[in-house]
Amino acid sequence: MTGLARGIPRIHVDLAALKHNLAVVRRHTPGGRVMAVVKADAYGHGALVVAQSLAAEVEALAVARLDEALRLRAGGIRTPIAVLEGIFDTDGLQLAAQLGLDLIVHDALQVDLLERTSLPGRVRIWLKVDTGMGRLGVDVHAAGALWQRLTDCPAVAPPVGWMTHLAHARRGECPETDHQLALFAIASAGSGAPRNIANSAGILAWPRTHADWVRPGVMLYGVSPFAGEEGADCGLRPVMSLCSELIAVKALDAGDAVGYGGTWRTPRATRLGVVAAGYGDGYPRTLPSGTPVWVNGRPVPLVGRVSMDLLTVDLGPDAADGVGSPVVLWGAGGPSVEALAASIGTIGYELLCRITPRVPRITLGAEADRSAPPEPDCRAPAEAPSGARA
């Protein structure tokens, strides 16, 4: 493997797929402004490389916390960045103002903080309303008065935008989403300020949520937000591929035990492949025997327990695979992350985010750093916005 030692799993981040997925967002929301969500290290893909790829093509980026925004600014990102959890103290507010960050306000205490703090510049604000998610957000009935206080606050740049988050956006009828939209309309009525509602599910299934801005998250990375669907069903392409290689191949007799606890035994003589990847890299230990793993472009079953650094696959009695044969654990040219997640009762988001720091990332695409070129085996056969960016 060029640029990396043998026997090291890696993830490939396909920037061309990222751009393709952004184009899908644009097709669904023509004329809308895009706030691309790159929180949690861009869902495990690498926040800085993703932000660098998207910075000139979206109106804003969004992160969860102040420290995530600081890292992007330190990396040279000048695109507007919204901090979804907002700021809770004077020092953080001063720093956010110095760096030109956009802030979400979801509690009256944050309004109090803005009113009593002298800042080096005015900050752009979104007021988040809890319309049914039950997490962050001000009460619908208190929202109007808080919005007016923010509008009148000398520390706040106009206009103050409106934001909410969809809790039940699924395909087809969804009375919960209808109710959220009705409450949001009540809260923001008559303000004329920009509105920001749609997450990935809203973008794909609920045109009524598109409003002035949209916030694509997981769909940018090629993953469907809907249970029972895969990204390809939505016209998306996977951005992350978790790849490795065989580091050993051995012949086993019928009845031989494999792995901790001997939970799997060979039903017949076969050839066993040992893959350099395990739960220490983020591949779930709970994936059962039979989970598909792609070796040399074909699916073979995972067998035995996944261990910290290794996993094993049944290559079959006539397999010609050898040490160094390419392996795709999920992504382009392999199983979908959604299918693997569903098999252990979780969601693709979690698998993407659980990749551990020891796994190197290799970027693919025209803007990628080619200092460590990836092998082909694992690949699939700013203009600043106007004042409405608050």
Q: Active-site residue numbers?
A: 39, 260
d(CA 127, CA 105): 5
What is the C-alpha R_g of the chain? Answer: 24
Nearest Cα residue to 19 out of 310, 367, 385: 367
Beta-carbon contacts of residue 195 (< 8 Å; ≥ 6 apart)? 161, 162, 163, 184, 188, 211, 212, 213
Nearest Cα residue to 381 out of 335, 333, 349: 333
Nearest Cα residue to 136 out of 102, 155, 110: 110
User: Which string of DSSP letters, residue by residue, matches 175-229?
Assistant: HHHHHHHHHHHHHHTT----EEEE-HHHHHH-GGG-SSEE---GGGGT--SSTT-
Beta-carbon contacts of residue 208 (< 8 Å; ≥ 6 apart)? 181
Angle at 226 between CA 220 and CA 227, to 5 degrees: 135
d(CA 209, CA 165): 10
What residues form DSSP beta bridges with 24?
none
Using alpha carbons, list the distances in angstroms from residue 266 to 250, 276, 325. Answer: 12, 21, 22
Q: Chain centroid to CA 334: how far?
A: 19
d(CA 7, CA 307): 15
